[in-house]
Structure 1
Amino acid sequence: MSSSRPTLPEPEKQGRIKQFAETYRMAKRSDPQLGMWILGAFVVGALVGFGVFWLATGHGGPISLAVTIFGALMLGVLAALITFSRRAQKAAYSQMEGQVGAAAGALQLLKRGWRLDTAIAFNKQQDVVHRVIGPPGVVLVGEGNPGRVKALLTSERRRHERVISEIPVHEVICGNGEGQVPLPKIARHIQKMKRQVKPAEITDVLARLKAIDASRPVVPMPKGPVPTSMKGMRGNFRGR
């Protein structure tokens, strides 16, 4: 006697669906019209796709109609996903703006080949310095009060240059003031920096920085849904 068991979804697929739903709920809080935008993008994309494929296939016969409908649906889904990705990204940044550790959440969008160390320096006023290590060298990213952050950055720069004097050390302040980089552009700004360090040199830098990192106190970064969601959406936002 055979018994049939229900087929459970694969863990990876189940995780992606859960991640998508979580991202949608997060974005919906800041963008109540998100659902309408996604639906509208799907309809417009499908209509455009139907017209293009209808003309391309010669609009004749059942096979041509099937290809046209399939192509229209694919373009509609693509348009909906692009719209969802961009509006979810905008909603995430709007929720992160002004929070302690917002820059750390945004920097999680960096591609592979970058090493992010959050809150390597901080003060009682919750001004923070994060560190990114990658092809441009060492990038120190400060967030908080500009005056206090500059002092933190200067101190960290000198500390790093004593250990890695031949590697470039850059300073960036995340903010909306003059000479600062806005939160939504911080990851892109760092990715566009001139590449001056080879992968083998990065490995050596990481090894040398262990000495100064070992003596640092640990700061508990604030936990919240936005940085987690930003990390989950990393694949959607790469290269945008």
Structure 2
Amino acid sequence: MARKANTEGADSAENAGRLKQIALTYKMTRRSDPKIGLVLAGLWIVIFGVLLAIGFAIGHPVYLGILGFFVAVIAVLVIFGRRAEAAAFGQMEGQPGAAAAVLDRIGRGWTTTPAVAMNRSQDVVHRAVGKAGIVLVAEGNPNRVKSLLAAEKRRMARIVVDVPVHDIIVGDGEGQVPLKKVRVKMLKYPRILSGPQVTAANDRLRAMGDLMSNMPLPKGPMPKGMRMPRGGKMR
């Protein structure tokens, strides 16, 4: 009985935490998307109403009503997730380190390392390794980050000669990729490496070391006032 009570208590706490997280996400989304509540409510009513009407038309209102309820809930959750993600990208856009937050959410199969190269102007290059190879994601001044990318590629060329390397410059200019499309861009790269090859590439890169490996970096966008330590060697 005690074990069952403990399990139920843990489940209740977990559910309460999940609901609190959803509420916080909704508040965050509403700040940049004030109509989110109306959109979600309207979507639910339309889907439920259409299926319920079909149910009455074919003589099965209860069955179609139940189905409509759950279909409407699923649709609302999907749209809410997409709009919440768009709102989060909108709030991060323009902040130093925003691309690192996007890479942190890219999903399974990728190993990400933030700030493998940086200069004093806070132009920064992040790295992700997966079955598509190595992806270097740069953010900052387009002219300055090109030299950072080139230097990082030269550094890696001595270690991972047999792994394809892609590069992305985050921005809205020509040849750049908007922050909200970085994940989609990366997932479109062809997967040509096997699991063991990805592991080997990660091991070699880890042994090479990174510029920021000895600095405690918070997850997500970096504070705007952050500066490189004096005496730190720029790559």
Considering the TM-score relative to the shorter chain, is it more than 0.5?
A: yes
String of CA shifts for 1:24-80, please: whole Å, max 9, x gaps. 12111111221111111111111122133444xx31xxxx33212211211221222
Q: Secondary structure of the residue that 2:9 maps to in structure 1?
A: coil
Q: Does the 8 Å contact 1:164/1:205 carry over to 2?
A: yes
Describe the SS at the equivalent of 1:116: strand
Q: Does 1:8 align with 2:30?
A: no
Distance 1:176 1:141, change over 3 A: same
Say yes or no: does 1:129 pair with 2:131.
no
The aligned residue for residue 24 of structure 1 is 26
Instruction: Tell me which residue corresponds to 2:209.
Output: 213
1:49 maps to what in 2?
Answer: 51
Instruction: Give the Cα–Cα distance (whole angstroms) in 1 for the partners of residues 216 and 27 of structure 2.
Output: 26
Matched, 1:120 2:116: yes
Match of 2:99 in 1: 103
Aligned to 1:186: 182
Unaligned runs of 5+ in 2: 223-235
Q: Within 5 Å, which residues of 2 pair with 1:62-101? A: 64-101=60-97
Unaligned runs of 5+ residues in structure 1 are 228-240
- Report the Cα distance in structure 1 between the residues aligned to 2:136 and 2:24, rounded to whole angstroms: 31
The answer on whether the counterparts of 2:52 and 2:61 sit within 8 Å (CA) in structure 1 is no
* Matched residue, 1:139: 135
> Aligned partners of 2:215 and 2:153: how far apart in 1?
19
Superposed, 1:162-173 pairs within 5 Å as: 162-173=158-169
> Which residue identity lines up with residue 79 of structure 2 in the other structure?
T
Aligned residues: 216
In structure 2, do the counterparts of structure 1 residues 65 and 52 end up closer, same or farther at CA, with 3 Å as the change threshold? closer
The code of the aligned residue for 1:86 comes to R
Check the 8 A contact 2:53/2:61 in 1, yes or no: no
Structure 2 residue aligned with 1:235: none
Cα RMSD of the aligned pairs, angstroms, is 2.3
- When normalised by structure 1's length, the TM-score is 0.82
Post-superposition, which runs of at least 4 consecutive aligned residues in structure 1 deviate over 3 A? 5-9, 52-55, 214-224
Residues 188-229 of structure 1: CA deviation (Å, up to 9, x unaligned):
1011101121111011111111222266554554666x89xx
Of stretches 75-84 and 158-167 in structure 1, the one that deviates more from structure 2 is: 75-84
TM-score (norm 2): 0.83
SS of aligned partner of 1:163: coil
Work out which of the residue numbers 20, 38, 41 in structure 2 matches 1:39: 41
Given residue 29 of structure 2, which amino acid in structure 1 is its aligned partner? A
State the alpha-carbon separation in 1 of the partners of residues 206 and 155 from structure 2: 13
1:119/1:54 CA distance change after superposition, 3 Å: farther
CA distance in structure 2 between the partners assigned to 1:144 and 1:215 by the alignment? 17
Cα distance, 1:18 vs. partner? 2.4
Cα gap change, 1:218 to 1:173, in 2 (>3 Å): farther
Decide which of 170, 174, 190 is 1:174's aligned counterpart. Answer: 170
